[in-house]
Amino acid sequence: MEGLRESSTTANAPPLHTVQLMRRVPFNLVFALVYSVAILALFYLHARNLYYSTSLVSVFITLSLLISDLALAFMWTTAQALHLRQVRRKQFPENLNKVIERNDYPSIDVFICTADPYKEPPVSVVNTALSVMAYDYPREKLSVYVSDDGGSALTLFAFMEAAKFASHWLPFCSKNNIKERNPKAFFESNYYSSPETEIIKTMYECMKGRVENVVERGKVEDEYITSDKEREVFSKWTDKFTRQNHPTVIQVFLDNSKDKDIAGHHLPNLVYLSREKRKVCQHHFKAGALNALIRVSAVMTNAPIILSLDCDTYSNDPQTPERILCYFWDPEVRATCGFIQFPQLFKGLNKTDIYAGQFKRLFQIHPSGFDGLMGGNFYGTGGFFSRRVFFGTPSTMLTPELPQLNPYYVVNKPTQSQEILALAHQVAGCHFEKDTDWGIKKGFRYGSLVEDTYTSYRLHCEGWRSVFCNPERPAFYGEAPISLTDVMNQQRRWVVGLLEMVFSKYSPLTFGLRHNGLMSHGYSQLGFWAIWSIPITIYAFLPQLALLNNLSIFPQVKSPWFLLYAFIFLGAYIQDLIDFVLANGTVHMWWNDQRMWNIRGLSSFMFGFVEFILNSLGISTSGFNVTSKAVDDELSKRYEQGLFEFGVASPMFVPLVMAALMNLVSFAWGLSEIVKGGRNMEGLAIQIFLSAFAVANSWPVYEAMVLRSDNGKMPAKTCVIGTALTWVIYVAGSFILK
Ligand SMILES: O=c1ccn([C@@H]2O[C@H](COP(=O)(O)OP(=O)(O)O[C@H]3O[C@H](CO)[C@@H](O)[C@H](O)[C@H]3O)[C@@H](O)[C@H]2O)c(=O)[nH]1
Ligand SMILES: [Mn+2]
């Protein structure tokens, strides 16, 4: 099969990796064919209804259903591209020693981004850093760069402490062959307790206490500073230093050429960077931070491999770098492989994952579909890049502004030499990118709030391939938001970013199609998430309003068209369920997942859609609103119990209240008609079913509106506004539909 290599490397060497088409692919194909016939039949029905429409009302209703079904059909079609060549990969790191000596391993630069010490507690960022610093990899080949867009002395202090703790933690991990190298995760696990472990634990607790204390007080008090050298580090935080306006701060906390751990082994480099920020300069959020990291790391270490991590994504497997070498060490793969992405997996989700925070389709199911085409896309964190990918297409390399930024340049001066530090400051400066093609053709691409998806899309268009690597032991774990407001704000940001991608001049519908048809379908499936809000909203209100006015808008139960509707609905839902369960999901999680799909459609997708339109008209602008990773005990408790967290009034809750009420009323009305033996029951069956389905989905909303008294209940204001608006559309609907 073209494009799919059965195995790798030279003929006699043992394989480093394999790839296989999944067994379900032929079934997917057959089902897709049958289903497309059903979709065509449905459009025939709509066209016929439109043609025979006799009144304005029926034209309006048919058109609404037609538009909804067009949106659904479009999303279904694009999704098929991701069902056609789903693959499963395996790696054999155990064969690595037959083709490469440990001494010859390539260097790796790890990037960790953080942006706000209050939303992203520095202790957690430190834990993430420690987990990768402790990789089973030659330490002198490992560098960890932390980018702090919050420009916070608190975060800097945390890393000063981390550097000291690392010299105990790293040898402890390797000596005891520990798998959980994030200290927090380790001490929360079922570890074997020994005097040594208890000492390390006390050290960890001490470090954590100091960092938390500093964060709580909001400043680094003198008592925490132990030397003049340390004091000097903080001297940059003058009164004029603010988050949006400050010079570059670069601090090398550990230097792998000099610093040793308590067992006398090398420690990896640990570098803190807060790039220059000026109000007059655009900083491009995370994409800008990553590009600054690419340049600063180039000047200091220039490793050919880069791992990009969010501050909450810690390593769960110390062997991960060796696993990716199975690809990067394969010459055939290396020539065109731009990056290797691991799935985003999360710790701390509740039992049934009420907010569908796993995003199984996005992070686990679809990537294997992309992977059979050109490769999984980048998800912002847990991606290993070849440095070369940021400098042009596989065949033509773009020359950087300075020779030292060239991905093949060999750094020949010590990291902390004057010259290197001066150059690092220069490339981290906010004017450096002016009149260059950083963000346009080089590095992470600007112009979309989902810099990850957008960048990988552009790289795939350039001809780079990638790999989706999904080993049995998860390589990384991250955190998902646990309050509904956070969930929705995150989703809204994503939708705005995705729309920025699909309406750019590089849209997958135009530019993308010319470069790679099937991949572009996949990217459109992702990029057009927002349009789901159209059918979801129409199906949440229109059939119900019609039902309340005794107006049948779907086929009668006895009509053959009824079967078509049943097939389309059940077919989509059952296929989705099967995909979900095959990806290690449970039925209950799946139910919550489809509920969240509806909730997002009614709310965050819709708000994102509107926000994007307002941005395009120049009425507003969107920023990268960082998701909070701080824990609130009360909130965590409610989340553990599986309760939805509404709490603070938000306009995004209003459509949920409206849909919940509208469907409750229409369902109740439908039931009472059934009891009374109404005449038109056969014609209204689908509408009554839809109402019942929405009522079942709205359970958490009713619960939050009437049954709960805790702080996470639905705010009274939202209930009142939602009820009033439901009443308004009911009256308006009755007026029109009568
Ligand atoms: O100006 C900024 C804003 C954010 N970040 C960092 O970006 C990361 C992701 O931010 P988060 O608030 O956690 O966003 P999520 O929506 O959870 O992140 C997902 O979506 C983002 C795109 O919207 C990707 O960048 C992320 O990698 C991906 O995990 C965090 O480490 C932040 O510190 C910055 O460095 N600078
Ligand atoms: Mn995140």
Record the tokens describing residue 544, joined without a space. 């119900």
- Counting ligands in written order, the one closest to the CA of 496 is 1
pLDDT given for residue 397 in this prediction: 97
| Minimum-distance ligand 1 atom for the alpha carbon of 624 | 3
Mutational test site, ligand 1, from 124, 294, 310, max ligand atoms within 8 Å of CB: 310
**Topology given in CATH for the domain delimited by 102-485:** Spore Coat Polysaccharide Biosynthesis Protein SpsA; Chain A (3.90.550)
The secondary element (H helix, E strand) that includes residue 596 is helix 587-602
Residue 325 CA to residue 440 CA, distance in Å, equals 29
By percentage, how much of the chain surpasses pLDDT 90?
94
What separation in angstroms does the CA of 550 have from each of 107, 553, 665, 729? 70, 10, 13, 16
Nearest CA to ligand 1 atom 23: 450
- Counting ligands in written order, the one closest to the CA of 311 is 1
Known active-site residue 437? no
- CA 633 to ligand 1 center in whole angstroms: 23
Record the tokens describing residue 635, joined without a space. 């909130």
Asked if residue 267 has pLDDT above 80, the reply is yes
Nearest CA to ligand 1 atom 22: 450
pLDDT given for residue 352 in this prediction: 97
Q: Which whole number is the average pLDDT over 426-430?
A: 97
pLDDT given for residue 3 in this prediction: 40
Nearest CA to ligand 1 atom 1: 285
Single pTM value for the model: 0.96
Q: Which whole number is the average pLDDT over 212-235?
A: 92
Rg of the chain over Cα atoms, rounded to whole angstroms, equals 28
pLDDT given for residue 619 in this prediction: 93
Nearest CA to ligand 1 atom 27: 380
Q: Identify which of 408, 492, 500, 401 has the alpha carbon closest to the alpha carbon of residue 457.
A: 500
What separation in angstroms does the CA of 447 have from each of 286, 439, 458? 11, 8, 12
Given 371, 452, 486, 593, which residue is catalytic?
452
Q: What are the pLDDT digits (tens) for 6-22?
A: 444 455 678 999 999 99
Pocket of ligand 1 (CB under 6 A): 113-115, 120, 147, 149, 285-286, 289, 310-311, 380-381, 449-452, 490, 493-494, 497, 624, 626-627
- CA 570 to ligand 1 center in whole angstroms: 36
- Beta-sheet strand order (sheet of 346-347): 314-315, 476-479, 346-347
Record the tokens describing residue 513, joined without a space. 């199609």
Q: What are the pLDDT digits (tens) for 186-199?
A: 999 999 999 999 99
Nearest CA to ligand 1 atom 17: 627
Q: Tokens 């989703």 correspond to what residue?
A: 491
Task: Name residues whose C-beta falls within 8 Å of residue 714's C-beta, 6 or more positions apart in sequence.
Answer: 646, 653, 657, 701, 704, 705, 708
Record the tokens describing residue 464, joined without a space. 């780079």
The band of 301, judged by pLDDT with boundaries at 50, 70 and 90, is: very high
The secondary element (H helix, E strand) that includes residue 117 is none
Burial class (CB in 10 A: 0-12, 13-18, 19+), 167: middle
Q: Which whole number is the average pLDDT over 546-553?
A: 95
- CA 628 to ligand 2 center in whole angstroms: 8
Mean pLDDT of the chain: 95
Nearest CA to ligand 1 atom 29: 380
Q: What are phi and psi of 122, to 5 degrees?
A: -50, -30
Q: What are the pLDDT digits (tens) for 613-660?
A: 999 999 999 999 999 999 899 999 999 999 999 999 999 999 999 999
- CA 404 to ligand 2 center in whole angstroms: 32
Given 116, 149, 353, 486, which residue is catalytic?
149
Domain borders along the chain are: 25-84+528-623+639-737, 102-485
**Complex ipTM value:** 0.99
pLDDT given for residue 7 in this prediction: 45
- Counting ligands in written order, the one closest to the CA of 623 is 1
Q: What are the pLDDT digits (tens) for 39-77?
A: 999 999 999 999 999 999 999 999 999 999 999 999 999
DSSP state, residue 378: P
- Counting ligands in written order, the one closest to the CA of 626 is 1
Asked if residue 139 has pLDDT above 80, the reply is yes
Identify the sign of the CA torsion 243, 444, 427, 145. positive
By percentage, how much of the chain surpasses pLDDT 70?
98
Asked if residue 102 has pLDDT above 70, the reply is yes
On whether the CB atoms of residues 10 and 93 are closer than 8 A, the answer is no
pLDDT given for residue 680 in this prediction: 82
Q: Tokens 């009824």 correspond to what residue?
A: 562
- Residues flanking ion ligand 2, Cβ below 5 Å: 627
Per DSSP, the residues of 475-495 read: SEEEE---SHHHHHHHHHHHH
Nearest CA to ligand 1 atom 24: 380
Helix (H, G, I), strand (E, B) or coil at 413: coil
| Minimum-distance ligand 1 atom for the alpha carbon of 381 | 27
| Minimum-distance ligand 1 atom for the alpha carbon of 311 | 31
Residue 534 CA to residue 461 CA, distance in Å, equals 29
Known active-site residue 452? yes
Which has more pLDDT, 677 or 698?
A: 698
Asked if residue 4 has pLDDT above 70, the reply is no
| Minimum-distance ligand 1 atom for the alpha carbon of 283 | 1
Cα 39 off chain centre by: 31
Asked if residue 5 has pLDDT above 70, the reply is no
On whether the CB atoms of residues 420 and 413 are closer than 8 A, the answer is yes
Which has more pLDDT, 631 or 557?
A: 557
End-to-end CA distance of the chain: 60
Q: What are phi and psi of 11, to 5 degrees?
A: -50, -50
pLDDT given for residue 8 in this prediction: 45
pLDDT given for residue 11 in this prediction: 56
Mutational test site, ligand 1, from 149, 273, 286, 339, max ligand atoms within 8 Å of CB: 286
Q: What are the pLDDT digits (tens) for 118-136?
A: 999 999 999 999 999 999 9
